[in-house]
């Protein structure tokens, strides 16, 4: 392990940001005024994705709707996440800071969905049962590239309408034909939702690489599809990336649903794992070691199959029911295949190094990151730093440090 010496480095990403998110959200919400009637019951979507300041955004949305005379309430819109159960969804929302107290509006959480229509290939559109009884629906979601396909629509408002609001049956319908059919399903089912459901608008959120709100924009129903395409292109330019195209070894301190739908962002690690569509070309990483699972992920270890080695502590923290419900819905089973877990962090990293079959004195091109969402600070080996672009070294090269149980020391 002594041959693996890393130094702390800093990356600088573009940083557009909104200083007053509450004011910006309120200003955008006022576009809905012509569509809102006094006494109108409006369902606001609350998803499972970690979005900075989401409680403030939802609270502001609810407040402005009340000011317009509406009766807003929140519905859980997270597809199969939370194990597809009411309690699981409530727990995820609580972890995200979304409660009735924090948003100042009632929450109507249910695992039930109702069928509202069928697209051309026979797939059915479902919607949250509580939202189905509303007189208006406001979709709220962050826009970012998807982890299973690369198209002009990805994770955003259309996906929220097709998958998030559809609960387990809706998510299963979208994923039924594999990754090659997701885009078409999201597009057609999103269009059907806009036609059949009382959508009053979509509040689109874009974040920069520092998890700060870069843009909040209200899209009226007729603007959602094209507006999302424009915003997705903008969001893609803000996505955090690794500073080099090839690595022998990547150590990820923590994976989890709060960092990416697949635990580790496939666009960052360059792996899609036997998908039926063409994935990212870069980066090329020979070995990935995942050390831990975030508490906020509630035991859902979707994406662990993208790693080559992991640890016993991560495996012991997995809620397999939640994980398998997630991958059963998506159909991407390989992303839940459990890699070898030889022991503690030190042993997992050593096994990964040994598997490279390099001479003992060969330099290793290696990197260590906290997770795939926070990449402004990372650790690189000398060989990796030589090849990295746009990095500034701020620490000396040193061997990895572990505690008595062989667990890696944070930042060490």
Of 208, 166, 212, 205, which Cα lies nearest the Cα of 189? 166
Tens digit of each residue's pLDDT (9 = 90 or more) over 193-241: 999 999 999 999 999 989 899 999 999 999 999 999 999 999 988 988 9
Q: Which SS3 state, helix, strand or coil, does residue 38 take?
A: coil
Mean pLDDT of the chain: 92
Q: How far is residue 151 from each of residues 184, 234, 357, measured CA to CA in Å?
A: 10, 14, 38
Q: Taking the model in full, what pTM does it have?
A: 0.81
Of 235, 212, 198, which Cα lies nearest the Cα of 52? 212
pLDDT band with cut points at 50, 70 and 90 for residue 366: very high
Highest mean pLDDT among 20-24, 227-231, 328-332: 20-24
Torsion angle (degrees, nearest 10) of CA 371, 376, 379, 381: 120
Domains of the chain in sequence order: 5-13+240-399 (no CATH), 21-236 (3.40.50.11440)
pLDDT band with cut points at 50, 70 and 90 for residue 149: low
pLDDT at 152 > cutoff 80:
no
Asked if the bond preceding 258 is cis, omega within 30° of 0, the reply is: no
Tens digit of each residue's pLDDT (9 = 90 or more) over 84-110: 899 999 998 998 999 999 999 999 999
pLDDT band with cut points at 50, 70 and 90 for residue 144: confident
- Predicted confidence at residue 42, as pLDDT, reads 98
**Is residue 304 within 8 Å of residue 273, measured between CB atoms?**
no
- Predicted confidence at residue 361, as pLDDT, reads 86
Tens digit of each residue's pLDDT (9 = 90 or more) over 55-86: 999 999 999 999 999 999 999 999 888 888 99
């Amino acid at each position: 392990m002594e041959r693996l010496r890393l130094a702390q480095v800093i990356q600088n990403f573009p940083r557009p940001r909104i200083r007053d998110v509450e004011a910006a959200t309120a200003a955008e919400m006022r576009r809905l005024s012509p569509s809102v009637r006094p006494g109108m019951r409006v369902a606001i979507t609350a998803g499972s994705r970690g979005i900075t300041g989401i409680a403030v955004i939802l609270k502001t949305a609810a407040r402005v709707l009340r000011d317009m005379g509406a009766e807003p309430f929140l519905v859980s819109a997270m597809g199969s996440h939370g194990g597809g159960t009411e309690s699981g969804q409530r727990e995820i929302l609580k972890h995200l800071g979304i409660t009735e107290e924090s948003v100042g509006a009632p929450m109507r959480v249910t695992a039930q969905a109702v069928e509202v229509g069928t697209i051309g290939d026979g797939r059915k559109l479902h919607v949250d049962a509580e939202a189905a009884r509303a007189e208006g629906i406001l979709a709220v979601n962050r826009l970012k590239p998807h982890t299973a396909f690369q198209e002009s629509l990805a994770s955003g408002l259309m996906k929220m309408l097709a998958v998030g609001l559809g609960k387990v049956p809706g998510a299963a319908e979208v994923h039924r034909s594999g990754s090659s059919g997701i885009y078409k399903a999201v597009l057609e089912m999103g269009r059907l939702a806009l036609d059949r459901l009382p959508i009053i608008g979509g509040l689109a959120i874009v974040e920069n690489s520092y998890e700060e709100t870069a843009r909040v924009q209200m899209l009226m129903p007729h603007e959602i599809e094209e507006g999302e395409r424009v915003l997705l292109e903008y969001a893609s330019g803000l996505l955090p990336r690794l500073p080099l195209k090839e690595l022998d070894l990547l150590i990820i301190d923590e994976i989890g649903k709060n960092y990416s739908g697949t635990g580790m962002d496939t666009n960052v690690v360059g792996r899609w794992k036997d998908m039926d569509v063409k994935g990212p070309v870069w980066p090329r990483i020979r070995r990935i070691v995942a050390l831990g699972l975030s508490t906020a992920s509630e035991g859902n270890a979707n994406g662990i199959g993208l790693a080559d080695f992991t640890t016993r502590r991560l495996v012991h923290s997995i809620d397999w029911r939640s994980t398998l419900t997630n991958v059963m819905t998506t159909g991407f089973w390989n992303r839940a295949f459990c890699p070898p877990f030889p022991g503690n962090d030190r042993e997992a990293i050593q096994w990964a190094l040994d598997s490279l079959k390099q001479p003992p004195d060969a330099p290793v091109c290696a990197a260590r990151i906290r997770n795939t969402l926070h990449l402004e600070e990372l650790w690189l080996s000398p060989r990796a730093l030589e090849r990295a672009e746009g990095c500034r070294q701020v620490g000396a090269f040193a061997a990895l440090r572990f505690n008595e149980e062989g667990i890696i020391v944070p930042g060490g």
